[in-house]
């Protein structure tokens, strides 16, 4: 999928990825919508989130991270890669909508300003984040539309994790355990508006788009 990222201001301002055609039309008379898409590894949430972006002319929020950039990643498109010092400075200035430190090593965060700007412009802004981050977003922006993507079953999720062929069995079992924990946390949190079972990707995408459109249209009458 091609995209047209907004360049990163190296001081602290992050890039955001626009829809595939690069359009940036503003509609100040329309309320924006913050869509949060969550789900465990292997469930297809990233594919679903990016398809919603394309179909509904949305903007995909790009997270900032302190972890090293891989050879396959593009700064400002996959993530915005910054130093620990830059991240801590932004944290102290309360510039993150949500943030977390993964495995006690590298920090990740969603910058607040691009999200607020997109909402003010009446746009759809999409976050693909984990459950912990989603719970933070729910606290700070209760109007967000929170969707959790579920696998058809635990057995199917494990099969999908193995079919990727990228990791050994030890890592797969760790991801599987993490996935079950995420699902349980999402269900018990009462933070999510919708749970969608991805048993057929095309149908799941159609269902998700219908739900987003319904929520977005409802927001216009609030």
> What CATH number does residue 198 fall under?
3.40.50.300
Domain assignment present for residue 70? The answer is: yes
Residues 6+ apart with CB under 8 A from 68: 81
pLDDT for residue 111: 95
Looking at the domain assignment, is residue 4 inside a domain?
A: no
Mean pLDDT estimate for the chain: 86
Q: Structurally, how many domains does the chain consist of?
A: 1
pLDDT of residue 24: 42
Sequential DSSP letters for 187-207: HHH---SEEEE-SSHHHHHHH
Q: Is residue 39 part of a domain?
A: yes
Distance separating alpha carbons of residues 148 and 95, to the nearest angstrom: 25
pLDDT digits (tens, 9 = 90+) for 178-219: 999 999 999 999 999 999 999 999 999 999 999 999 999 988
**How confident is the model at residue 16, as a pLDDT?**
44
Q: Is 9 a domain residue?
A: no
Query: pLDDT band at residue 7, thresholds of 50, 70 and 90?
Result: very low
Task: Write out pLDDT tens, residues 51-98.
Answer: 999 999 999 999 999 999 888 888 888 889 999 999 999 999 999 999
Judge whether 2 lies within some domain: no
Whose CA is closest to 18, among 95, 97, 140, 117? 117
- 194, part of any domain: yes
Quick check: is 53 in a domain? yes
The domain of 147 spans 16-24+32-220
Q: What is the pTM of this model?
A: 0.82
- Whether 132 has a pLDDT exceeding 80, the answer reads yes
Between residues 140 and 10, the one the model is more confident about: 140
Chain position carrying tokens 């595939």: 20
> Considering the domain boundaries, does residue 5 fall inside one?
no
CA distance 43 to 179: 9
On whether the CB atoms of residues 63 and 17 are closer than 8 A, the answer is no
- Position 103 scores a pLDDT of 64
At 159-176, the pLDDT tens digits run 988 988 778 899 899 889
Give, for 85, the enclosing helix (H) or strand (E).
Answer: helix 84-92
């Amino acid at each position: 999928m091609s995209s047209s990222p907004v360049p990163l201001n190296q001081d602290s301002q992050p890039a955001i990825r626009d829809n595939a055609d690069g359009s940036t039309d503003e509609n100040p008379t329309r309320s924006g919508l913050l869509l949060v898409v969550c789900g465990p590894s292997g469930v297809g949430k990233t594919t679903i989130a990016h398809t919603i972006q394309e179909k509904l002319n949305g903007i995909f929020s790009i997270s900032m991270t302190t972890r090293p950039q891989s050879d396959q990643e593009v700064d400002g498109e996959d993530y915005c890669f910054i130093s620990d010092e830059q991240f801590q400075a932004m944290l102290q200035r309360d510039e993150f909508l949500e943030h977390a430190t993964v495995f006690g090593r590298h920090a990740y965060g969603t910058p607040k300003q691009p999200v607020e700007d997109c909402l003010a412009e009446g746009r759809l802004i999409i976050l693909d984040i984990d459950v912990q981050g989603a719970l933070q977003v729910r606290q700070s922006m209760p109007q967000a539309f929170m969707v959790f993507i579920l696998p058809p079953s635990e057995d199917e999720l494990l099969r999908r994790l193995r079919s990727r062929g990228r990791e050994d069995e030890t890592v797969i079992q760790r991801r599987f355990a993490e996935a079950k924990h995420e699902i349980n946390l999402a269900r018990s949190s009462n933070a999510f508006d919708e749970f969608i079972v991805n048993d057929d990707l095309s149908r799941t995408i159609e269902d998700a788009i219908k739900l987003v459109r319904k929520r977005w249209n409802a927001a216009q009458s609030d």
